[in-house]
Amino acid sequence: MKVALYGQKIGKKNIPYLNQFIGYISNNSIDISIEKSFFNILSSFEEFKNLNVPVFSHYKELTKDFSLMFTFGGDGTILSALTFIRDTGIPIVGVNTGNLGFLATFNKDVFIKKIDQIFDQKFHLIPRSLLWLETSITDHHPFFNFALNEIVIFRKETVSMITIDAYIDKQFLTSYWADGLIISTPTGSTGYSLSCGGPIITPENKNFVITPISPHNLFSRPLIISDCQKVHLKIHSRVKYYSLSMDTRLTSLKKDNELYIRKAPFYIYIIQEEKYTYYKTLREKLLWGMDQRN
pLDDT recorded at residue 138: 58
Of the chain, the percentage scoring pLDDT greater than 90 comes to 69
In terms of Cβ atoms closer than 10 Å to its own Cβ (0-12, 13-18, 19+), residue 12 is exposed
What CATH number is attached to the domain comprising 39?
3.40.50.10330
Same domain, 208 and 251: yes
Question: Has 17 been labeled as part of a binding site?
Answer: no
Q: Is residue 184 part of a domain?
A: yes
Question: Has 195 been labeled as part of a binding site?
Answer: yes
Statement: residue 143 has pLDDT above 60: no
Same domain, 210 and 280: no
Q: What is the pLDDT of residues 265-284, one digit of tens each?
A: 999 999 987 777 888 888 88
Same domain, 10 and 116: yes
Closest CA to 41 of 52, 32, 49: 49
Same domain, 99 and 151: no
94 three-state secondary structure: strand
Question: Has 179 been labeled as part of a binding site?
Answer: yes
Q: Is residue 89 part of a domain?
A: yes
Same domain, 149 and 177: yes
| 101 vs 56: which has the higher pLDDT | 56
pLDDT recorded at residue 290: 66
Total residue length of the chain: 294
- Report yes or no: 106 and 117 within 8 Å, Cβ to Cβ: no
Same domain, 271 and 232: no
Of the chain, the percentage scoring pLDDT greater than 70 comes to 96
Q: Is residue 167 part of a domain?
A: yes
- 109 given a catalytic annotation: no
Instruction: Provide the number of structural domains found in the chain.
Output: 2
68-73/92-96 β-pairing: parallel
Q: Is residue 142 part of a domain?
A: yes
Same domain, 65 and 141: no
Q: What is the pLDDT of residues 206-220, one digit of tens each?
A: 999 999 999 998 889
Question: Has 94 been labeled as part of a binding site?
Answer: no
Same domain, 209 and 110: no
Question: Has 28 been labeled as part of a binding site?
Answer: no
Q: How confident is the model at residue 109 (pLDDT cuts 50, 70, 90)?
A: confident
pLDDT recorded at residue 286: 83
Q: Is residue 293 part of a domain?
A: no
The most confident of the ranges 7-11, 133-137, 227-231 is 227-231
Q: Is residue 213 part of a domain?
A: yes
Same domain, 112 and 39: yes
Q: Is residue 290 part of a domain?
A: no
Q: Is residue 168 part of a domain?
A: yes
Candidates 31, 65, 75, 247; catalytic one: 75
What CATH number is attached to the domain comprising 197?
2.60.200.30
Statement: residue 100 has pLDDT above 80: no
Same domain, 45 and 167: no
Domain of 93, in residue numbers: 2-129+267-285
Q: Sign (positive/negative) of CA torsion 256, 262, 268, 271? A: positive
Statement: residue 255 has pLDDT above 70: yes
241 three-state secondary structure: strand
Same domain, 121 and 10: yes
Helix (H), strand (E) at residue 246: strand 241-246
Same domain, 105 and 90: yes
- Report yes or no: 148 and 188 within 8 Å, Cβ to Cβ: yes
Taking residue 260's Cβ as centre, other Cβ atoms within 10 Å add up to: 14
